[in-house]
Every structure is written in C-alpha cells, then in structure tokens.
Amino acid sequence: MLIRGTTRLLGLLGNPLSHSYSPAMHNSAIEKLGLDLVYLPLKVETRGVEACLKAIRELEFLGVNVTIPHKLAVIPFLDEVSELSRIIGGVNTIVCKNGKLSGTTTDLEGFLAGFREAGHSFDGKTVVILGNGGTARTLAFTLLLMAKPSRVIVAARDVSKSKALAHEVHEKIHQTLEVLDLAEYSKHAGEFEVIVNATPVGMFPNAGQSPLQSDWLRKDQIIYDLIYNPEETRLLQDARKQGCQTVGGLAMLVHQGIASFKLWTGVDPDPAFFYEGIRNQQKLQKALV
Ligand code: NAP
C-alpha cells in the first residue's frame, strides 16, 4: 500500500482494538481496488472521544467506524444522526463531508446481508434472539423494521431488562417483541425456526461453552451465531451434529464493513476482498503465536 500526500483517511474509533479485523478487511479492499485511502486503528478512551472527532473533522477524514464502547458516546458530537441510529440508539459509521459529521449504523445491513449470503431469509419465520444486550437490541429492531419474521422473541436471563426493551420497541415502532426467560427456553425450544446467538457465550477464550444444550436443537432449525472468534463455536458444532443449518458471525462483520465502505467511497466492493484481509490477519496471528 502506497501512502502519499493525497491519501485520504478512514479509521476505527474504539477501545480495545487489538482484536479487530476491520483495519485488515478495509485495507485489503482498498488495496485490491487501487484507491488512494488508508484505514487506521484509532484507539481512544471515552474522555478523548470529543477531541478525536474534532481531529477527524480537521484532518478531513473520509469517515470512520465506531465500535465498543463509543457507539453512543459519539452522538452528542455529530452534526446529524440518522433516524435508524436514533431509534436503535447507536452509531457505527460516521461519514465526513464538507466539514460535517453524519452518523448512522450499518450493523442492521450486516446482520441481514450475512444471513442472506448464506442463502437464508427471515421471512415468515419464528426467530429467537439469545441475549438482551446492545447487539440483541439492534437485531430486535432490525428484524421488526426490515425483515418479515412471523414472531420475534428475546430470550435472556434478566427478564425485566427484556420487558423494558419490548416496551421500548412497542413505543417506538408499534411492534411486538416477545419475552422469554432463558431458564424456560427448553420448554419452548421446538417453536423456533431461527436461533440467533447474541450472547458472548462460546467466544474466545471460553470456546468450549454454548448458550444452549445440544439436545434442545432440532435439525430443521437455522442457527446464526454472531460470534466470529472462534468461527466454528461450540453452538455451531452441536447444531451441525444435529443436522441444523448454520451461519457464523464473520458474515455479519464483513457485510457491515461493506455497507460502511459504500457510504464513504460509493464503491461496492467484492466481499472476497474483505474475507481475504481477515484470512491474512489470521495467518499473521497464527505465525506470531
Ligand atoms: P452485551 O451488550 O454485553 O450483551 C451480552 C448479552 O449476553 C447480555 O444479554 C447478557 O446477559 C448475555 N450473556 C452474557 N453471558 C451470558 C451467559 N453466561 N448466559 C446467558 N446470557 C449471557 O454484548 P453485545 O455487544 O450485545 O455482543 C453480544 C455478542 O455479539 C458478542 O459475542 C459479540 O462478539 C457479538 N457481536 C458480533 C458482531 C458481528 O459482526 N459478528 C457484531 C456485534 C456483536 P446478562 O445481562 O444477563 O449478563
């Protein structure tokens, strides 16, 4: 990659960033497409978010991604925020144009496109989301606003938190989000056609764990695990053994990145460029161990 005096800047605002595949994904696409851009990690503490956004404006960045823990913290310092980000309550992409910072989210598009890429659709299906954290919240709104599932259920440990989310969904978009206590999951296991894991259970370094018992899985179910490290989680291994169809979390990551890239550059990159960046980083990490 040749960085010149004309090279425009992109980046990722968050903390920590050492685990992130985003710089590798975006720089791979930039290189393949021969664009005069570079994507940088911008590790910043919450107290530094305002100053960082000021610098991004001054340095005429083309745009940045925003990740944990700053998806909400950036909002007060933006010139505009999309309706979608306001409803869902988070920004993962900022576009900088003519000194103006506009925030939106591409997590929804990533989630839907990742599932579509694997050949599946949520239309007419009963979908259960495991967990009720930040991602589960985005997915609940996404499914109800942008897909046509027959039912959406959130199954988590803290029922009062799930009920508050269901209430908010009803207030904001007048739709029904059903609530299930995760402890009662096994009684309803047969009702679900798509199971989405939005908990960190099974994520590195706890790769042996699964949020569900394997005998609760049925062969006609589709299991979408958003964890991408490891790529094949315990849940996905169990699901495959039961004959279920499975989708891993890398697809969502790649497609939210592609959607951001399109907003910044107007170019629709081949997903293969993004996957290649990730594979190169994985090889490098293995070689360094
Ligand atoms: P979060 O806000 O911390 O929420 C985590 C949720 O998981 C909470 O509902 C939490 O419930 C639940 N949980 C944690 N440990 C649990 C356990 N042992 N048993 C049952 N439930 C448990 O996290 P998040 O930002 O939503 O992220 C969730 C997952 O999605 C992470 O694994 C992340 O890597 C993945 N993700 C992937 C992508 C992608 O692009 N593929 C994008 C975003 C997120 P309690 O409140 O009861 O602890």
With vertex at residue 92, the alpha carbon angle to CA 34 and CA 245, rounded to the nearest 5 degrees, is 85
Residue nearest to atom 37 of ligand 1 (CA): 226
Q: Which two tokens stand for residue 124?
A: 């007419």
Domains, the chain, ranges and CATH? 8-106+251-288 (3.40.50.10860), 119-247 (3.40.50.720)
Q: Is 187 a catalytic residue?
A: no
pLDDT tens, residue by residue, 93-125: 999 999 999 999 999 999 999 999 999 999 999
Q: Looking up tokens 């296991």, which residue turns up?
A: 189
**Looking at the predicted structure, is the pLDDT value of residue 39 above 90?**
yes
> Which structure tokens are listed for 228?
């991408």
How far is ligand 1, taken at its centre, from the CA of residue 24, in Å?
A: 24
Interhelix angle for 250-265 vs 22-33, to 10°?
50
Q: What is the mean pLDDT of residues 189-193?
A: 96
Model pLDDT, residue 1: 83
pTM reported for the whole predicted model: 0.93
DSSP class of residue 163? H
Distance 131 CA to ligand 1 centre (A): 6
Give 287's pLDDT tier (boundaries 50, 70, 90): confident
Q: Which residues line ligand 1 (CB under 6 A)?
A: 110, 131-136, 156-158, 182, 198-201, 203, 211, 226-228, 249, 252-253, 256
- Nearest-10 crossing angle of helices 134-146, 107-117: 70
pLDDT averaged over the chain?
A: 96
Q: What is the pLDDT of residues 1-21, one digit of tens each?
A: 899 999 999 999 999 998 899
User: CB burial class (10 A; 0-12, 13-18, 19+) of residue 75?
Assistant: middle
Instruction: Show the beta-strand stretches assigned E in the chain.
Output: 8-14, 37-43, 63-66, 80-81, 93-97, 100-104, 126-130, 151-156, 178-181, 194-197, 222-225, 245-247
* Residue of 43, 71, 97, 187 with catalytic role: 71
Rounded Cα–Cα distance for residues 93 and 74 (Å): 10
